[in-house]
Structure 1
Amino acid sequence: MRIVFMGTPDFAVPTLSEIVGHGHEVVAVYTRAPAPAGRRGLDLTPSPVHKVAERFGLPVLTPTSLRSNAATETFRGHGADVAVVVAYGMILPPAILEVPRLGCLNLHGSLLPRWRGAAPIQRAIMAGDAETGVAVMKMEAGLDTGPVGVVERIAIGPDMTAGELHDRMMLVGADLMGRALAALERGGLVFTPQPEAGVTYAAKIEKGETRIDWTQPAQVVHDRIRGLSPFPGSWFPMGEPEARVKVLRSTLVAGEGAPGEVLDDQLAIACGTGAVRLLELQKAGKQPVAAASFLNGNAVPPGRRLA
């Protein structure tokens, strides 16, 4: 089929590679414009999808908007059978959605209708979900409201981080989209409307959510830590002057104490109920390290209270 691919981050790269590998004709790749990088922001860095598309020799477009008549006509000129959208980062207006004869397919990182919106991977873990998945949905004007064609379920391990789930999802999702396109091509992809029950929204992560609140139950603290790892990262303040220490990995352990109290010499920390053990930490400007290495350079004795 003739396909327009629309995506930007690493998450979208395996799907683009899968489409090319299946022999489809990718007539255009839409991605976000190169972003400022470097210490002074003077260098412009192409997106991960942009870089891969160029290696494949595919034409790349980086419009700042898709809402003009000119943008619609350019899109129409590709003569695409279908558009595939994976974490593109721009809203597709109705005029664009209506162009491909077989519609626009979106790879979404949740079991719709649960976790519609911007941060489904993080929100699933932060909520303590034991399962999530990826879905191929036919796009419409609403936010992730379109009918679903195929899904693949993914278990969320008790200590799995958002980064680990992201990496698992992007590979499973690429395979799922490949199978969905094959079914679409032979007329066998059936779309089912999403149920009205069970809708939840995965709002964008806000800065105010990232500080660890030790007064919460240990399970809540643990889920927040792993759901925000590796980015933006949960943190607590420590040192003089006070600096942020990110916690990138933790696990639940037995123990009780005042919230934030260090319970042993291996960074078991009391929460509102129960305790968590901090396994991987990162000081500002430093590389992530295991707890043992962190303790070699930072005094965190039992009995101390973390803020």
Structure 2
Amino acid sequence: MGEWMRIVFFGFQRWGTETLRALLASGHDVPLVVTHPPSRNPADNLWSDSVTDLATTAGIPVVECRYANAPELAELLKAQDAELLVLSNWRTWLSPQICALARHGGINLHDALLPRYGGFAPINWAIANGETLTGVTVHRVEDELDLGDILLQEIVPIHPQETATDIFHRTLPLFASLALAAVDALERGTASFTAQDSRQATFFHKRDERDMRIDWYRPARDIHNLIRAQSPPYPGAFSHFRGQRIELLMAAPAPRDYRGTPGRLLLTADGAVVLCGPPGPQGLLIETVAPEQRPAMPASQFFAGSSGYFD
């Protein structure tokens, strides 16, 4: 082999553009790019850099499709004589028959520490669940989604006040660096794969509005994690106050031990505090809110003079 590989790239959004840009800058031959078409789903447009635009500017043919297992695409892939398929935020299952069209098969980049947090929105789920570690995994694409043998993995700590947006920006550069390291290891013949323990695997679904609604009977720690997990530009964790939907954008544990009925708003010397469920301290200090159809503002400003309960 030479110093570069012939790679067919499958990717979407900013994760995909950053990975493809790194492959091209490193001199790898990318004769074909496969990406998803633009989506009407707002969740698909948060980090919506266009893989199509990047590939087109580089003079690379592009196929846009939701699923990549059609016979027509298989014929097109055969003609590329690819050594490797690289997937970065490719969001649908890729069949073993498609992967077998490249000499080294396919590798995928996933923003979690597999085998845990396979599936969708792994950063958001990890923070909502109070995890202190996440990362990026490069694994072989095999029949079961996100369960292929692991080639590379890098750990990223999650600090107590960090949000999903913070972790997105800290993990994003790893897509480029780990993709290049993985391709280099395969090209040199030094790649070493480790089987995943499927007994440790967890698979998460896409997040929806119901996953973002606050249950004030949950402990303050859990609600704080949910708010961190749904940081802007993600759709915010929300509740209703006096019939109005309110997104809670920033919060922190209350500095003293407030107790009482979950959902009760207290205007205190510390600021706007909402009581949560047991166990432990029940107060959550609400710092920034976004009322329905209004810009974000300090919670103390929005709730000034108010009293009552969140639904």
TM above 0.5: yes
Letter in 2 for 1:175: S
1:15 touches 1:170 (CA, 8 Å); kept in 2? no
Distance in 1, Cα, partners of 2:122 & 2:165:
12
Which structure 2 residues correspond to residues 76-95 of structure 1 after superposition, within 5 A? 76-95=78-97
Structure 1: runs of 5+ lacking an equivalent:
39-45
Aligned position for 2:165: 163
Aligned position for 2:22: 18
Aligned position for 1:227: 229
Which structure 2 residues correspond to residues 84-233 of structure 1 after superposition, within 5 A? 84-230=86-232, 231-233=234-236
TM-score, length-normalised on structure 1? 0.89
2:138 touches 2:152 (CA, 8 Å); kept in 1? yes
Aligned position for 2:45: none
Q: % of aligned pairs identical? A: 31
Distance in 2, Cα, partners of 1:164 & 1:76:
40
CA-CA distance at 1:178 after TM superposition: 1.4
Within the candidate set 263, 267, 272, 1:260 is matched to 263
CA-CA distance at 1:197 after TM superposition: 3.6
Distance in 2, Cα, partners of 1:268 & 1:57:
55
Distance in 2, Cα, partners of 1:92 & 1:289:
44
DSSP 3-state at the match of 2:21 = helix
Aligned position for 1:56: 58
2:105 touches 2:141 (CA, 8 Å); kept in 1? yes
DSSP 3-state at the match of 1:184 = helix
Summarize the Cα distance change of 1:75–1:157 in structure 2 as closer, same or farther, 3 Å threshold. Answer: same
DSSP 3-state at the match of 2:98 = helix
Distance in 2, Cα, partners of 1:127 & 1:289:
27
How many residue pairs are counted as aligned between the two chains? 294
Distance in 2, Cα, partners of 1:61 & 1:149:
27
Aligned position for 1:43: none
Letter in 2 for 1:283: P
Within the candidate set 213, 238, 242, 2:241 is matched to 238
Summarize the Cα distance change of 1:245–1:93 in structure 2 as closer, same or farther, 3 Å threshold. Answer: same
Within the candidate set 284, 292, 300, 1:276 is matched to 284
Distance in 2, Cα, partners of 1:234 & 1:21:
39
2:241 touches 2:309 (CA, 8 Å); kept in 1? no
1:262 touches 1:301 (CA, 8 Å); kept in 2? no
Letter in 1 for 2:277: G
DSSP 3-state at the match of 2:265 = coil
Distance in 1, Cα, partners of 2:307 & 2:175:
46
CA-CA distance at 1:61 after TM superposition: 1.1
